[in-house]
Amino acid sequence: MEPNSSTSSEQGKTSAKDFFLHLGSIVALYVVAGNFINLLFRIINKAYPEMLTNGYYWSGGSEISFPVATLIIVFPIFVLLTWFVNKTYMQDESKRHLSIRKWLTYITLFVAGVMLAGDLVMVLYKFLDGQDLTAAFLLKALVVLLVSGVVFGFYLQDIRERITAKSRKVWAIVVALIIILSIVLGFSVLGSPQTQRLLRHDNQKIMDLQNLQWQVINYWQVNGSIPVSMPSIPLDPQIGDPYEYKKTSNLTFELCANFNVASRVDSKGRMISESPYWPNDMLKNENWDHSAGRQCFERTIDPVMYPTQVRG
């Protein structure tokens, strides 16, 4: 009777294995849900770009690489950990009542509930405040609503033990298909890994041109004139040739480079640069919008904004 009594007393206790299996599956769920939302947000931003009126704008070339890589790696880990957890339930039914499972499940329900409420509050606030409910905002709100709603509904049913082994498999297959479709959609909208690499090259070219532009401005402030030629012009890292610089008048100059991909176009047909820039013009008519191929940027120095140090 003693062995049986000892075995019975150990049932239902949380072991280190139980703790890390449950914790790992919940953490993996949060990572998958967060990166899935992140991926869809980036797709929405691409389909419905917003023009920024101030501040610093940045759109990196590899903007979907991280969420896609995370989903590809972490989602199978989540499925595997969840399978191990449910396997322990089948081997020992008392494991379903572990305190660690209840705590983590209720925390997940709480987080999902807060996201649901916060999402609805933000939509209602924008409506009551008279703000523009753009397509991008409404789509993002819908994404958060659906993801948090699905998580909330699934774990609510799970804690009530209303989900069968068959339905779990169906859930896993459906979610996997949705994630795969989202990744395919992401690459179709934002471009393949090769396109992302080309965008990164274009980003670097813009930053190089910006540095060259500042060299010209510094020369102007020190000498009171624009240089006829630059003593040191950086090389285009992609093709190895120097960028082009040309003085066009006493206050204007031109910078040229070859680009791989054209700037994005928003819903109103306006170009949106894929590269970093300050929307508030630091030089007259400054922007870095470009087409594919050779593109030149005309720059005009404002003597009021950039006074020279030359006296007399």
Domain assignment of residue 10, yes or no? yes
Residues counted in the chain: 312
The pLDDT averaged over each successive group of 10 residues in the chain (312 residues) is: 43 78 93 92 78 44 76 93 89 86 92 90 83 83 92 91 87 92 84 80 90 91 89 88 92 93 61 47 65 91 83 58
Do residue 199 and residue 186 come from a single domain? no
Do residue 46 and residue 65 come from a single domain? yes
Last residue of some domain: 143, 175, 191?
Answer: 191
Residues 27 and 74 sit within 8 Å (Cβ to Cβ): no
Do residue 7 and residue 85 come from a single domain? yes
Question: What residue type is assigned to position 22 of the chain?
Answer: H
Do residue 148 and residue 208 come from a single domain? no
CA angle 272, 146, 181 (to 5 degrees): 65
Confidence (pLDDT) at 175 = 92
Domain assignment of residue 61, yes or no? yes
Confidence (pLDDT) at 78 = 94
Domain assignment of residue 241, yes or no? yes
C-alpha torsion 223→229→233→239, nearest 10: 160
Neighbours of 247 (CB within 10 A): 16
Per the structure, the count of domains in the chain is 2
Do residue 103 and residue 199 come from a single domain? no
Question: What residue type is assigned to position 193 of the chain?
Answer: P
Tokens of 133: 């409910």
Q: Which domain holds residue 217?
A: 195-300
Confidence (pLDDT) at 272 = 54
Domain assignment of residue 43, yes or no? yes
Domain assignment of residue 308, yes or no? no
Do residue 143 and residue 200 come from a single domain? no
Last residue of some domain: 164, 191, 218?
Answer: 191
Confidence (pLDDT) at 106 = 94
| Whole-structure pTM value | 0.68
Do residue 200 and residue 160 come from a single domain? no
Do residue 167 and residue 231 come from a single domain? no
Do residue 212 and residue 102 come from a single domain? no
Confidence (pLDDT) at 189 = 75
Do residue 102 and residue 32 come from a single domain? yes
Domain assignment of residue 305, yes or no? no
Distance (Å) of CA 155 to CA 110, 116, 289: 11, 14, 47
Last residue of some domain: 191, 223, 251?
Answer: 191
Judged on CB neighbours under 10 Å (0-12, 13-18, 19+), 155 is: buried
Confidence (pLDDT) at 49 = 67
Domain assignment of residue 306, yes or no? no
Do residue 102 and residue 242 come from a single domain? no
Nearest to 31 by CA among 68, 63, 71, 69: 71
CA angle 111, 170, 163 (to 5 degrees): 60
Do residue 98 and residue 37 come from a single domain? yes
Rounded Cα distance between 180 and 177, Å, is 5
Confidence (pLDDT) at 2 = 44
Domain assignment of residue 311, yes or no? no
Confidence (pLDDT) at 281 = 45
